[in-house]
A and B are shown apart, each in its own frame.
Chain A
């Protein structure tokens, strides 16, 4: 859904999105890395419909993903890192609060 402006090259890192290695600039958040593709971060616990990041500032929680094994992580708040595993989150997974 998004692409990098060509005049802003940056060192790439490799992240693994749903098992597929992808090279992205090091200065993205995990949500931004997903938005370079189809943007889908999770499906909802209620109806199972797909969601993508909506606010990119930590308020909507539509970017909840499993990052390096930790579920319910707000992908828009986490900078990418070499080897980071970013997985889509499917349906009901209880968010403790």
Chain B
């Protein structure tokens, strides 16, 4: 069995920055990531794109290209990287279990950093399980990692920076969406956070540039869309919505949904570290100190997995966690840790200044957080509907997600609640007139990714 001073789970901006810093401080550092290449969601496949399709760089934009510098630092740092390694458990002794090309394995860590990033928030609207409906991030992943673009009539629907980014990336790739449908955003509520947003580096200009590019394209950009629903026999054929007082219908081949991001919590939850409800981001997140320490000793959390803050803040959190881990292993003194931390703390603050505005502006509409149409599927795996969950929450007095699991099997499919957890919490909270914090979240137990009996037999423990 192998061992490392620091095992980093996730090779996105947070994990890469942490690993490069830790290795630079002399820690034996192992990165495990389930993707074939390092980069995480934002810098997906960046080294291969640079080598084989540099033309893609111009359409993906400057934020993507910026990742090469980080990848370079990581490659030069001496940190080891194991691709296609999916972590399913961290045990009480900080042994990390994973599955990779050669089978199941484990590594003993002195310190662990969870940098598993974010996932796209579920967008439970009627028809979202039909083939021909995907997330905006999925279309972007196909573009980055496979140079694939939608073939046919495509509609983007929802809200958030990633919705606009994917729309302009598709435009630059020569794809004209049939429409971009934006669900209501909170302009007035967000206004008071505008000055700080405008002071955060680059955000306002990038946002305005995307809006200009989208408008200039002439693609119908409809704002304030409600009652979104996809329909079709066996696949998406039409999208319906209310706009300016009328029900509209648009024929489609592909619908791309997006409603912002939420932390990917399953690994952290499986450790039973303390989590709290974040009202402004409308999700749960682990309780962390400024270094990224959670309530489990020796375990750090950095990047969007600790709360959505974006790629640049993720890099800073990664570097800070590496300093803290090196300090607790006695590699550097507290004094040195604090001195080296200063620029990262400052830089992170500058990027966090953008959050209040973005979180307020793009708060998902109530009808999507807790779907109002009763037949809407909430748990995609077990096909449990919003109506069923509401009914059980009130008539059967079902108090929380774990009891709901027992009643309906929601959250018990292979995705382990990743695509329904937040919706089930919101539905129970709304039906019972309690706060989401009170309703709580699914209890997540390892393995957080499916493991076979054969995998377990292979482990040399």
CB contacts (< 8 Å) of A5 on chain B: these are 56, 147-149, 173-174
The minimal Cβ–Cβ distance linking A30 to chain B, given in whole angstroms, is 11
A48-70 contact mask (Cβ, 8 Å, vs B): 1 or 0: 01111111111111101000000
The one of B146, B450, B453 that contacts A28, using a Cβ cutoff of 8 Å: B146
Q: Are B151 and A2 in contact (CB under 8 A)?
A: yes
A50 to B53, CA, bound (A): 34
Is A35 close to B, CB under 8 A?
A: yes
Q: What B residues does A53 contact at CB under 8 A?
A: 134, 138
Is the CB of A91 closer than 8 A to any CB of chain B? no
Q: Is B184 an interface residue (CB 8 A)?
A: no
Among B41, B146, B173, which residue has its beta carbon within 8 angstroms of that of A29? B146
Q: Please, what's the 1-or-0 string for A30-46, where 1 marks a CB less than 8 Å from any CB in chain B?
A: 00100110111000101
On chain B, the residues within 8 Å of A10 by CB distance are 52
Are B119 and A52 interface neighbours, CB within 8 A? no
Q: How far is the CB of B388 from chain A (nearest CB, A)?
A: 12
Contact A54–B135 (Cβ < 8 Å): yes
Q: Shortest beta-carbon distance, B90 to chain A, in Å?
A: 17
- Candidates A28, A35, A46; contact of B382 at CB < 8 Å: A46
Q: Is the CB of B120 within 8 A of A55?
A: yes
B406-420 vs A, CB cutoff 8 Å, 1 = contact: the mask equals 000000011110110
CB contacts (< 8 Å) of B151 on chain A: these are: 1-3
Q: Which of A3, A4, A60, A95 has the most CB of B within 10 A?
A: A60
- B235 touches A (CB below 8 Å): yes
Mark interface residues in B125-146 (1 if CB within 8 Å of A CB, else 0): 0000101111101100110011
* Interface SS of A by simple majority: loop
Known: A40-B131, A95-B450, A97-B450. A4 touches B383 (CB 8 A): no
A96 interface contact, C-beta 8 A: yes
Q: What are the residues of chain A within 8 A of B134 when measuring CB–CB?
A: 52-56
Is B205 engaged at the interface, CB distance under 8 Å to the other chain? no
Tell me, in angstroms, the Cα distance from A52 to B230 when the chains sit together: 15
On whether A2 and B142 interact (CB within 8 A), knowing A46-B383, A50-B235, the answer reads yes
Instruction: Check A56/B141 contact, CB under 8 A, given A1-B151, A2-B148, A4-B148.
Output: yes
Residue of B nearest to A47 (CB): B383
Say yes or no: B147 contacts A54, CB within 8 Å.
no
A34 to chain B, nearest CB (A): 10
CB–CB B447/A59 < 8 A = no
Q: Tell me the nearest residue of chain B to A25, going by C-beta.
A: B146
Q: Are B380 and A62 in contact (CB under 8 A)?
A: yes
Residues of A within 8 A of B253 (CB): 1
Does B361 count as interface, using CB distance less than 8 angstroms? no
Residue of A nearest to B131 (CB): A52
Taking each of A50, A56, A96, which has the highest tally of chain B beta carbons within 10 Å of its own beta carbon? A56
A67, B413: Cα distance in complex, Å: 20
CB <8 Å contact, B150 and A59: no
Given A57-B141, A60-B419, A97 contacting B383 (CB threshold 8 A): no
Q: Is residue A27 within 8 Å, beta carbon to beta carbon, of the partner chain? A: yes
Q: Determine the distance from Cα of A94 to Cα of B48 in the docked complex, in whole angstroms.
A: 36
Q: Are A39's CB and B146's CB within 8 A?
A: no
Taking a contact as CB atoms under 8 Å apart, the answer to whether B119 and A57 are in contact is yes
Chain B residue numbers with a CB within 8 Å of A38 are: 131, 235
Q: A60 contacts B132, CB within 8 Å?
A: no
- Cβ-based interface call for B152 (8 A): yes
How many Å lie between the Cα of A29 and that of B451 in the bound state? Answer: 21
Of A44, A47, A79, A97, which contacts B451 at CB under 8 A? A97
Complex alpha-carbon distance, A97 and B138, angstroms:
25
A14 proximal to B (CB < 8 A): no
Known contacts A49-B129, A54-B380, A57-B41: A2-B149 contact under CB 8 Å:
yes
A-B contact pairs, 20 of them (CB 8 A): A1-B132, A2-B142, A2-B149, A3-B148, A7-B55, A27-B48, A29-B146, A38-B131, A38-B235, A52-B133, A54-B419, A55-B134, A56-B137, A56-B138, A56-B142, A57-B41, A72-B414, A77-B84, A77-B86, A96-B452
Which 10 residue pairs spanning A and B have beta carbons closest together?
A52-B131, A8-B147, A56-B138, A61-B414, A2-B148, A56-B141, A46-B383, A3-B151, A97-B450, A32-B146
Beyond A8-B55, A40-B131, A97-B447, 5 additional contacts (C-beta under 8 Å) are A28-B148, A39-B131, A55-B138, A61-B413, A64-B414
B residues neighboring A (CB under 8 Å): 34-36, 41, 48, 52-53, 55-56, 84, 86, 119-120, 129, 131-135, 137-138, 141-142, 145-152, 173-174, 234-235, 253-254, 264, 380-383, 413-416, 418-419, 447, 450-453
